[in-house]
Amino acid sequence: MKLNPGQNDAVHYVSGPCLVLAGAGSGKTRVIINKIAYLVEKCGYQARHIAAVTFTNKAAREMKERVSQSMGRKQARGLWISTFHTLGLEIVKREHKVLGLKPGFSLFDDQDTFALLKELTQDELDEDKDLIKALAAAISNWKGALVIPQQAIKTAKDEQSILFAHLYQRYAQQMKAYNALDFDDLILIPTLLLRMNEEVRGRWQQRIQYLLVDEYQDTNTSQYELVKLLVGERARFTVVGDDDQSIYSWRGAKPQNLVLLGKDFPKLKLIKLEQNYRSSQRILRCANILIANNPHVYDKSLFSELAYGEPLKVLFAANEEQEAERVVAEIIKHKFMGKTQFGDYAILYRGNHQSRLLERALMTNRIPYKLSGGTSFFARAEIKDIMAYLKLVVNPDDDNALLRVINLPKRGIGPATLERLGNYANDKKISLFAAIFEAELNHYIAPGAMKSLYEFGKFIVDTGEMATRGDPVEAIKVLIRKINYEDYLYETSTSAKAAEMRMKNISELYRWVTEMLQGDELDEPMTLPEVITRLTLRDMMERNNEEEGGDQVQLMTLHASKGLEFPYVFMVGTEERILPHQSSIDEDNVEEERRLAYVGITRAQKELWFMLCRERRQFGETMRCEPSRFLMELPQDDLVWETRKVVQSEQQRVEKGKANIANLREMFKK
DNA sequence: GAACTAGACGTTTTT
DNA sequence: CGTCTAGTTC
């Protein structure tokens, strides 16, 4: 397929900074891929000097695959295609010496951070979950804005900010002591390092000679700063973005960074991609008219040359159960009428909890579906247990990991022993693990407990030796066996079935780790520390999801749908308080919700349905629902609103069908 | 180990 | 209202 003029310009403009304003479905990924190939094949860049950055692992992976397909695996070798966080991790890893980090540092996920903050702030926040979460959010915001603790303390105004700023400082100190980093550090630390250290900066600018950034509207302050530092004076970069699809402001993303770019780089070349290759003209017209209600930095008018297409449908249901059943009924009907597959349908919703009823309806109708997002595999206790062991093996100073597993299985190391160990370590300013091996410790701790501690410490050291000197795969196998984890699961699980499930999860984890240690066609073999940090960044989960990819209806949040496309899309819960969400209405941030609706609409290629309820239960209380204001903003001549009469007859049909099934079941029983 | 109960808690979006 | 947890009972 040939590039259109805009795409062509975007690919071939390589002499300076370039901003590609790419509307939904305008082929931006194609531009990036072609541009990488162009840089390597025609401009003489070596693959290893080009970096492309995305926001999700899924996008990075997809890009990697498409690039190797288009220019050949050999040529693509050495390209840096990763998320911002993975790139940051890479910089931290290679510069750990300058940063004063020991190799094998730990990466804390949100749960680890929460646990640490809880521990750290017992006196101040009294284990108040909401407060700790607020603190975690505040710290994350500070880090995203490149504010270090001292600055936070200086600028804090109200009482709570002052307290939080001091706790931020304490948290940062503690993380340093643990030799641990959190997600935000993966951007913050490289950025500060590059800013302050000219030598390191020069080295990385030499290393990354051309930088491409996808979904640029999602960058926050620290990410933008990192981009600036990496590209330096030469400013050889291309960023691709769409301010209308900026839906992560709550995570610190600043669409204004698109404007700032023009100020920071006066020679910035602006290229617009306005032809949409995805959606019917009707769908696109609706999307355009909706988003015209928002203010715009750059004007952009998307057009499509595809068919005008079917009208968009607005379907009513009495309540949320019927809404879910209705969606399923429509999918079955529609699939029967056209030659479509389940995989052609997507159901999009505002909040994760909305998936529950949809799942139930799909399941009872035996429709295969795939749910993206939701509770992570890595949040499961059994996975966290084994991961904690592995983290500890790699970084014994990770107190968090140590506390999780030191008495798992029971080793006779109780709270009293741990408190004394903790006090000792605190006094000496060493890690818990290091304290175990201090000769003086036996003054404070009973001989029995002392022996257990020492045995535990030795076990971790031995496993570490085996993992580094010998075969890491074997080491993990031995680890799981030696701690009798299977027995532990059967003892602690609420049922034998549950224990089996958990053990299966462990086997799954083991399989992944093994695969990553050994590598495959697309990825080099990794070391154990690399595997652990990767898994903490949730890389594997997404890969696994892709592998399943059968013929399944897709369920996901509107946020998670960004960047994807589907022939037939259902948007459920298009009601006031849901989309736009109540909290956004309260906070006067309806514009972002409108962009979210815009993202949802522009996912659809051929047909689109809006679902809404007349009433909906919330915490046991029944609430009446109003159609979303966004539905009112759409061009009504492109919509078909279902009339009440149809609603009733459709409802009756569904009820009747259900009664029939029930009857059949009864008959079957007898 | 399973099956039950009471009681608290909750719904924004995620790298 | 539904889900999760801790605690109880058999």
pLDDT in tens, A353-376: 999 999 989 988 989 998 887 667
Average pLDDT over residues A292-313: 91
Residue A322: helix, strand or coil by DSSP?
helix
Alpha-carbon A204 to chain mean position? 26
Cβ contacts, strand B, under 7 angstroms: A 55-57, 83-85, 110, 129-130, 183-184, 247, 250-251, 350-354, 373, 490-491, 493-498, 537-538, 557, 559-560, 581, 583-584, 587, 618-620
The encoded tokens of residue A118 equal 């809880």
Cα distances from A563 to residues A37, A523, A604, in angstroms, run 21, 23, 11
Binding site annotation covers A26?
yes
Q: A69-100 pLDDT, tens per residue?
A: 888 888 888 899 999 999 999 999 999 999 98
- pLDDT for A669 equals 46
- pLDDT for A422 equals 86
Q: Between A7 and A526, whose confidence is greater?
A: A7
Using a 7 Å cut-off to protein CB atoms, list the covered nucleotides of chain B: 1-3, 10-15
- pLDDT for A114 equals 86
Q: Is the pLDDT of residue A648 over 60?
A: no
Q: In the beta sheet, which residues pair with residue A371?
A: A555
pTM metric for this prediction? 0.86
The encoded tokens of residue A247 equal 């839906």
In this structure, the strands spanning A80-83 and A50-54 are parallel
Question: Which are the catalytic amino acids of A?
Answer: 28-29, 214-215, 245, 603
How sure is the predictor about A524, in pLDDT bands with cuts at 50, 70 and 90? confident
Q: What's the length of chain A? A: 670
Sequence letter at residue A288: N
Distance CA A336, CA A330 (A): 10
Cβ atoms A633, A598 nearer than 8 A: no
- Lowest mean pLDDT segment, chosen from A46-50, A378-382, A477-481: A378-382
H or E segment and range at residue A18 = strand A18-22
Closest CA to A389 of A449, A478, A514: A478
Using a 10 angstrom Cβ sphere, with 0-12 exposed, 13-18 middle and 19 or more buried, the burial of residue A489 is: buried
Cα distances from A64 to residues A52, A160, A406, in angstroms, run 9, 45, 40
Average pLDDT over residues A290-315: 91
Mean pLDDT rounded to a whole number for chain A: 88
Domains and CATH numbers, chain A: 5-96+187-273 (3.40.50.300), 106-178 (1.10.10.160), 303-373+549-657 (3.40.50.300), 378-543 (1.10.486.10)
Cβ atoms A215, A59 nearer than 8 A: yes
Q: Is the CB of A353 under 7 A from strand C?
A: no
Distance CA A463, CA A394 (A): 9
Using a 7 Å cut-off to protein CB atoms, list the covered nucleotides of chain C: 1-3
Contacts 24+ apart (CB under 8 A), A334-339: A334/A568, A334/A607
Closest CA to A260 of A272, A245, A236, A243: A243
The encoded tokens of residue A350 equal 């505002």
Largest CA distance in chain A: 83
Average pLDDT over residues A270-277: 94
How sure is the predictor about A543, in pLDDT bands with cuts at 50, 70 and 90? low
How sure is the predictor about A670, in pLDDT bands with cuts at 50, 70 and 90? very low
Q: A419-429 pLDDT, tens per residue?
A: 888 888 888 88
Distance CA A448, CA A441 (A): 13
Distance CA A86, CA A88 (A): 5
Q: Which nucleotide is nearest to A144 (CA to C1')?
A: B15
Q: In the beta sheet, which residues pair with residue A108?
A: A182
Q: A453-495 pLDDT, tens per residue?
A: 899 999 999 999 998 888 888 989 999 888 888 888 777 777 7
Task: Write the DSSP assignment of A388-436 as a string of letters.
Answer: HHHHHHH-TT-HHHHHHHTTSS--S--HHHHHHHHHHHHHHT--HHHHH
**What is the phi-psi region of residue A108: left when phi exceeds 0, alpha when psi lies from -120 to 50, beta otherwise?**
beta
